[in-house]
Amino acid sequence: MTGLPISHLEVVAFCSSPCSEADILWLSLKASATYTHLAQPTLMLSSAVAAPKRANAADQFTVQIRTVTTTASVTTADSGTIVTSGSTGAVTLAVGTTYTMTEVTAAGSSSALPYYIPSGVGQSYTVIPNGNDAITCTLTNTRKNRTLQLQKVWAANSIAGDNISLPATTGFTNNASVLTSTATAADNTDSGLAATVYAGETGTLAAESFTAGSSMNYGAVLNCTGNATALSGTNGPTTANTLTIAAADTTVVYNDTNSRAKPTIILTKFQRIAAAPDATPAAPDFNFTVTALTGLLRDVLEYCIIYSNTGGMAPRLPTRCRATAQRSEGLRHEQ
């Protein structure tokens, strides 16, 4: 007996005359029966945004109460953690019917729902109401967070005592602090404190600087793990990089590895017969195995050996050739 005022309830009983003992028993039981009137159930669904705030100020959420079709819905307003117009109000339901409470991002939002918790499969909720139920539910959207950590690796054969500083990140709600690291002869790794960052944030990771030693002695390799979105910007281990925290990111580790540079020595040799005063010298011969030059007795032979280094510190050689023109007694002109 649902939905009728109690004053409209009436028990009507009759039997054929004369009433049997069974009829009399049934009537006596009916006379002592209690009827309870149950109000129709209601459901109020609201939306909330938790700290630190929305991923983007334009993000709005539409909460829905659904059966096969949408029974009721409402879209939020405002920005940050403030929510207005975020409640459906009390919606009258049918007893025993299954209702689903869910939400979608509203048109005009900058961030997709996966930037927030709850989202994805299994994040809708169902309810089967009974009479007299007055159900109130709130879907709270919390911005996804991850951790960001700076890490410095010195490879084997690093110069013990060399020291670098990785600056603190900038641009995130919480920034990773400065990391200083000192090399040992064997490989070693130093890690900074993890900072909590949020989906949708973009920050800058600055380049390292040497406080002891020289970057010329090392080759640097940058490796960032846990980030679904690649670094952007100048993207070099010795230059600044930008990082955007994506919804699919895990624990993000910004790893800067220094390996001792392996120098490559290049030897260049040339020789030629010096020109007479005020004359243009002949083109030098750069062959390592040089054929005999055509010269005269007591001609001056010029030769030069040049060293260059493509890795590590510059060679300790003057910019000019170390060897200068030498007089050769070995060249003879024979008729």
Is residue 310 a contact partner of residue 216, using CB atoms and an 8 Å limit? no
Is there a single domain that holds both residue 226 and residue 270? no
User: Would the pLDDT of 321 be above 70?
Assistant: no
pTM score: 0.65
**Burial of 21 from C-beta contacts in 10 A (0-12 / 13-18 / 19+):** exposed
Number of domains in the chain: 4
pLDDT of residue 229: 84
pLDDT of residue 113: 85
Confidence of residue 12 (pLDDT cuts 50, 70, 90): very low
What percent of the chain is predicted at pLDDT more than 90?
30
Distance CA 255, CA 243 (A): 13
CATH code, domain carrying 99: 2.60.40
DSSP label of 115: G
pLDDT of residue 145: 92
Cβ within 8 Å of residue 191, ≥6 positions away: 149, 150, 151, 152, 179
Is there a single domain that holds both residue 161 and residue 127? no
> Can you give the residue range of the structural domain that contains 119?
42-143
**Last residue within a domain, chosen from 87, 114, 143:** 143
User: How large is the C-alpha radius of gyration of the chain?
Assistant: 42
Is there a single domain that holds both residue 139 and residue 46? yes
pLDDT of residue 45: 94
Is there a single domain that holds both residue 47 and residue 131? yes
pLDDT of residue 305: 58
- Mean pLDDT (the chain) is 76
Is there a single domain that holds both residue 19 and residue 84? no
pLDDT of residue 269: 60
Tokens at 46, concatenated: 């609201």
Confidence of residue 79 (pLDDT cuts 50, 70, 90): confident
- Residue 42 backbone dihedrals phi, psi, to 5 degrees: -130, 155
Is there a single domain that holds both residue 188 and residue 253? yes
Confidence of residue 2 (pLDDT cuts 50, 70, 90): very low
Distance CA 134, CA 292 (A): 108
Is there a single domain that holds both residue 154 and residue 242? yes
Is there a single domain that holds both residue 252 and residue 153? yes
User: Would the pLDDT of 295 be above 70?
Assistant: no
Average pLDDT over residues 222-227: 87
CA distances from 108 to 48, 77, 104, 316 (A): 18, 12, 12, 64
Is there a single domain that holds both residue 58 and residue 136? yes
Is residue 261 a contact partner of residue 217, using CB atoms and an 8 Å limit? yes
Is there a single domain that holds both residue 168 and residue 233? yes
Is there a single domain that holds both residue 81 and residue 176? no
CA atoms lying within 13 Å on the CB side of residue 41: 16
Tokens at 83, concatenated: 């929510």
3-state secondary structure of 271: strand
pLDDT of residue 255: 87
Is there a single domain that holds both residue 59 and residue 129? yes
Q: Pairing mode, if any, of strands 241-244 and 202-205? A: antiparallel
Give the lowest-confidence range in 118-127, 172-181, 222-231: 118-127
Q: Read off the amino acid at residue 101.
A: M
**Last residue within a domain, chosen from 260, 290, 321:** 260
Give the model confidence (pLDDT) of 90-113 as tens digits: 999 999 999 999 988 888 888 888
Cβ within 8 Å of residue 85, ≥6 positions away: 74, 75, 76, 77
**Last residue within a domain, chosen from 143, 162, 183:** 143
Nearest to 163 by CA among 213, 208, 207, 237: 213
**Residue 244 burial (CB count, 10 A):** 17
